[in-house]
């Protein structure tokens, strides 16, 4: 294994200069940096991560706590894209990402905080998890830098998708398309669900829209089975809705199956809309009307904030960061205005 001393000799510079060049410090010329990096590659030199950790008091390793109720893992379209953006952003700053084992069997032996300390994480990002779990609260209240996604803790940075604004824009659009009988299948209780539900009720009130209790139903996020069953129940009502909003795009596919099984057409007989803006929704016919959450920005923002918290803790402002989504109109909401005239 090539040592730093051997690399310095090959470059005819000091060991200190080699260290500075490899760490991209400003007091070394670009020409010298390029020479050192080229020679390091030619000679097969790799910095000792353990030594680097001792010297900088960092491991350049960030932990990721991620699990959802449906146990979708990284097949979860929305969070997979968020984490991909997060990973690409931290790698630009020289950090690696390690997933934390969240299975119940393993969590009995070590808490999330203990796992984070044992692996020497410089920081942790927490996404799509039970934020009321005592182990999560213990980790959040520790001295380890933490950034959460879509959940706010006191004195911690949170990166939030604008669920209030997104639901307002979606419901307003459906209303403006002439719909007055709008059902909403919302997700299970969570901060995201609460934000969307509050926005749904507030927007409905501002529009003068009456929503019967039977139009409001709960179904698990990403559950095509729940969406399928509830869609059939809604369409069997004496006065069925003309449009159904689903908790997310993936769940809406279950609704589509139920609608087509009943011999109905989308949007001619029944309109629908999802939420998230997953890619597959743009490649089906008809294209799904939805709110596109900016997964790229959510991931990169979470990464930038966590790195700032690690490297400049005193200069980093601890606050929630709100990321707006955009309405994708698609073609699953029929324009009823002409029919009303």
The answer to whether residues 295 and 133 touch, using CB atoms and an 8 Å cutoff, is no
Q: Do 189 and 198 touch, CB atoms closer than 8 A?
A: no
Burial class for 55, CB neighbours closer than 10 Å (0-12, 13-18, 19+): exposed
Q: Can you tell me the distance from the alpha carbon of 254 to that of 244, in angstroms, rounded to the nearest whole number? A: 12
Superfamily of domain 61-161+295-323: Response regulator (3.40.50.2300)
Q: Give the Cβ contact number of residue 250 at 10 Å.
A: 25
Determine the pLDDT at residue 339. Answer: 67
DSSP 271-322: EEE-SB--GGGGSSSSPPPEEE--HHHHHHHHHHHHHHHHH-TTTS---EEE
How far apart, in whole angstroms, are the C-alpha atoms of residue 316 and residue 60?
Answer: 18
- Nearest by Cα to 245 from 255, 233, 235: 255
| Whole-number pLDDT of residue 73 | 53
Kindly give the interhelix angle for 15-22 and 4-11, rounded to the nearest 10 degrees.
Answer: 100
Question: Taking the CA atoms of the chain, what radius of gyration do you get in angstroms?
Answer: 25
Q: 64 burial class (0-12, 13-18, 19+ CB within 10 angstroms)?
A: middle
Q: Which long-range contacts link 130-134 to residues 24+ away (Cβ below 8 Å)? A: 131/191
Residue 20 · residue 28 · CB < 8 Å: yes
Range(s) for CATH 3.40.50.2300 in the chain? 61-161+295-323, 163-293+327-340
Assign domain 163-293+327-340 to a CATH class: alpha beta
DSSP states of 213-248: GGGEEE--TT-HHHHHHHHHHHHTSSS--SEEE-SS
Q: Report, in this order, helix, strand and coil percent for the chain, each rounded to 5.
A: 45, 15, 40
Which residue do the tokens 């698990």 mark? 220
pLDDT at residue 132 in the model: 86
Q: What is the pLDDT of residue 118?
A: 86
Query: Which residues of the chain register pLDDT less than 70?
Result: 1, 47-56, 68-75, 103-108, 339-341
Predicted local distance difference test score (pLDDT) of residue 207: 98
pLDDT tens figures, 87-101: 999 998 889 999 887
pLDDT for the residue 52: 61
Residue 62: the pLDDT is 95
**Beta pairing class for 216-218 and 271-273:** unpaired
* pLDDT at position 72: 52
* CA 115/CA 251 separation, integer angstroms: 34
């Amino acid at each position: 294994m090539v040592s730093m001393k051997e690399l310095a000799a090959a470059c005819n510079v000091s060991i200190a200069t080699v260290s500075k060049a490899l760490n991209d410090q400003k007091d070394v010329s670009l020409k010298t940096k390029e020479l050192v990096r080229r020679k390091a590659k030619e000679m097969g030199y790799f910095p000792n991560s353990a030594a680097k950790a001792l010297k900088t008091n960092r491991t350049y390793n960030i932990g990721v706590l991620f699990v959802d109720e449906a146990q979708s893992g990284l097949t979860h379209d929305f969070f997979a894209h968020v984490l991909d953006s997060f990973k690409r952003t931290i790698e630009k700053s020289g950090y690696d990402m390690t997933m934390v084992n969240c299975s119940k069997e393993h969590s009995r032996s070590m808490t999330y905080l203990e796992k984070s300390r044992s692996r020497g994480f410089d920081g942790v990002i927490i996404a799509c998890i039970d934020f009321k779990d005592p182990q999560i609260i213990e980790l959040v209240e520790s001295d380890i830098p933490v950034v959460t996604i879509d959940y706010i803790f006191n004195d911690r940075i949170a990166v939030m998708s604008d669920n209030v604004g997104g639901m307002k824009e979606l419901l307003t659009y459906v209303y403006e398309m002439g719909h007055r009988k709008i059902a909403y299948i919302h997700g299970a209780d969570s901060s995201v669900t609460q934000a969307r539900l509050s926005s749904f009720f507030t927007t409905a009130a501002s529009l003068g829209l009456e929503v019967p209790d039977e139009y409001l139903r709960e179904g698990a996020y990403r559950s095509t089975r729940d969406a399928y069953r509830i869609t059939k129940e809604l369409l069997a009502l004496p006065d069925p809705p003309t449009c159904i909003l689903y908790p997310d795009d993936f769940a809406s596919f279950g609704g589509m199956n139920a609608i087509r099984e009943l011999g109905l057409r989308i949007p001619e007989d029944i309109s629908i809309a999802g939420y998230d803006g997953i890619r597959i929704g743009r490649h089906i016919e008809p294209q799904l009307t939805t709110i596109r959450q900016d997964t790229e920005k959510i991931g990169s923002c979470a990464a930038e904030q966590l790195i700032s918290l690690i490297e400049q803790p005193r200069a980093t402002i601890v606050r929630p960061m709100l990321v707006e989504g955009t309405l994708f109109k698609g073609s699953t909401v029929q324009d009823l205005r002409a029919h009303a005239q």
